[in-house]
Structure 1
Amino acid sequence: MGARPDITAWRPRVEGIDEVFHAHFADHAYPMHTHDAWTLLIVDEGVVRYDLDRHEHGAPSSVVTLLPPHVPHNGDAATPEGFRKRVLYLNASQIDADLVGRAVDSPVLHDPRLRHRVDQLHRALERPGDELEAQSRLAFVSERLAHHLGDEVAAPPAPRGRLAHQLRDLLDERVVEGLTLRAAAERLHSHHTHLVRAFSQEFGMAPHQYLTARRVDLARRLLLGGMGAPQVAASAGFYDQSHFSRHFKRVVGTTPGHYARTGAAA
């Protein structure tokens, strides 16, 4: 009997991603199969060998692999220790279906910057409550994939400074309830990647960082006003107590409970 695989899978609250799949396989071999979604794969340990369109390919830890939908492929370990991988299944909104042929011809992407961005995206997806960060990171991953497939997205002509301030206004209006990147892009008639880049260049921080800072500021006022930390987490727009505590300590330098007690002592 082979070793039991170590698998984690979930559907995140991020538009454009159908599934996140993390797995460590010691001896599993995938038969020929297909997916409805685009398969974006990075390998953290070992090497995956697979066949795509009657051609053999390898996926070591240094590359990013993009497998198109509806094209059969298989996969197994190319090393005795098996492999550890992280996969994002991206729906058709992220990559044009007309680019399937190009992905079949070149599924292996030698791009350290892209691999780093995919890794950052996975880390954001592992933290419930950080969906706006994940949306922003997904936008840059999709842009990079489009670059590799020769499908560059033209930036809209709107001045970046004006767009940045318009997005800040939208975030200020929705500090507690939040705002998806796609909704902001539709409201401001801009591509979501261009919107994130414009904001970051104008203010020196990403939109998700700005929103988190505004929520922490609100939480500080509520704590000093006597509201308990569990109630503050929800009232300030955080996903849960853990999400609140992590970001509060990162910004303020101490836990919400300790911060509240110092205010009471004063």
Structure 2
Amino acid sequence: MAGQRPQQEVSAWRPRIPGVVEVFHAHFTEYAYPMHVHEAWTLLIVDDGAVRYDLDRHEHGTPHDTVTLLPPHVPHNGSPATPHGFRKRVVYLDDTRLADDLIGPAVDGPDLRDPVLRRRVAQLHTALTHAGDKLEAESRLTLISDRLTTLLRPHHPRSPRPDPTLARNLRELLDEHITDGLTLDRAAALVHAHPAHLVRAFSTAYGIAPHQYLNSRRVDRARRLLLDGLPATEVATATGFFDQSHLTRHFRKLVGVTPGRYARENVRRLDRPDP
């Protein structure tokens, strides 16, 4: 816009999630990418504005309701398609997450209009911004990879039907690892199942995702420890949360108040004289 300076806001990090090379969030108003390539898959959503780009000599665009998947080693560029630029979130994935035979279909149709996929990618980015939500990020990424494969390879065989026994086995594993946690890949190896099938089996059987189950068990333990008088910092460590802020976020989501307020209300009740 005339009279305003171009904006360039970026943040980038490498989470400890298998298959994730980099997470990149950016807001550009006038910056244009020249032709370039990545050795990783580029999974992109645009939250504001739009991007126009060329891929394999064909012009494409990224309205906010699409998910864009750019394959590795294929040149592309990018520039704002609106006067106020664009705000985007990108996760770069290595070849363990998506097979090489998807490169051709991704070149032919990189922009995917799929509301479920769009929602899952946004949820993945939210999980990736919090260091303690590794199981959630792994679970969401596994389902995203599976859905991308299904969309780009229509004749991809369907996953097996949900298995209640498999779901129960995962629940028992999560119960054994409430404090120390458990990665999705490790759980899948222990129960001899594909990670995506494992997540679906659990969610179908119990109506809750594995990471939600684990966090709710941790919050339950945190409530008991807070009522015992332990400070929130010690409770976070004792219940497997990354830090106090990680505990606070999930505690408030499930209980409706912060751990501090929860503990204070308990103290007030104990201090009241008997009637």
- The TM tier, using the shorter chain, reads over 0.9
Are 1:256 and 2:259 an aligned pair? yes
2 CA distance for matches of 1:26 and 1:140? 33
Question: Alpha-carbon deviation of 1:30?
Answer: 0.6
The verdict on how the C-alpha distance between 1:260 and 1:46 changes in structure 2, with shifts beyond 3 A counting, is closer
In structure 1, the residue corresponding to 2:45 is in which secondary structure? Answer: strand
The verdict on how the C-alpha distance between 1:2 and 1:256 changes in structure 2, with shifts beyond 3 A counting, is closer
The verdict on how the C-alpha distance between 1:62 and 1:249 changes in structure 2, with shifts beyond 3 A counting, is closer
Amino acid at match of 1:155: S
* Aligned with residue 156 of structure 2, among 152, 157, 178: 152
Are 1:119 and 2:138 an aligned pair? no
Are 1:195 and 2:198 an aligned pair? yes
* Aligned with residue 171 of structure 1, among 150, 161, 174: 174
- The answer for the alignment partner of 2:39 in structure 1 is 36
The C-alpha deviation readout for 1:197-217, integer Å capped at 9, x for no partner, is 111111111111110111112
Q: Gaps spanning 5+ residues in structure 2: where?
A: 271-275
Amino acid at match of 2:195: H
* Aligned with residue 10 of structure 2, among 1, 7, 11: 7
Question: Alpha-carbon deviation of 1:172?
Answer: 0.7
Question: Alpha-carbon deviation of 1:155?
Answer: 2.6
2 CA distance for matches of 1:153 and 1:131? 28
* Contact 1:45–1:61 (Cα < 8 Å) also in 2: yes
* Contact 1:33–1:72 (Cα < 8 Å) also in 2: yes
**How do residues 231-246 of structure 1 correspond to structure 2 at under 5 angstroms?**
231-246=234-249
Question: Alpha-carbon deviation of 1:154?
Answer: 4.5
Amino acid at match of 1:173: E
Question: Alpha-carbon deviation of 1:2?
Answer: 5.5
Are 1:218 and 2:201 an aligned pair? no
Coordinate RMSD, CA, aligned: 1.7
Question: Alpha-carbon deviation of 1:230?
Answer: 0.6
2 CA distance for matches of 1:34 and 1:242? 38
State, as a whole percentage, how many aligned pairs show the same letter: 59
* Contact 1:11–1:17 (Cα < 8 Å) also in 2: yes
Q: Gaps spanning 5+ residues in structure 1: where?
A: none
TM-score with structure 1 setting the length: 0.94
Question: Alpha-carbon deviation of 1:167?
Answer: 0.2
- The answer for the alignment partner of 1:107 in structure 2 is 110
* Contact 2:7–2:30 (Cα < 8 Å) also in 1: no
TM-score with structure 2 setting the length: 0.91
Question: Alpha-carbon deviation of 1:243?
Answer: 0.8
* Aligned with residue 75 of structure 2, among 65, 72, 76: 72
Amino acid at match of 1:108: D
The C-alpha deviation readout for 1:131-152, integer Å capped at 9, x for no partner, is 2111111111111100111163
Question: Alpha-carbon deviation of 1:76?
Answer: 0.8
In structure 1, the residue corresponding to 2:140 is in which secondary structure? Answer: helix
Question: Alpha-carbon deviation of 1:225?
Answer: 2.5
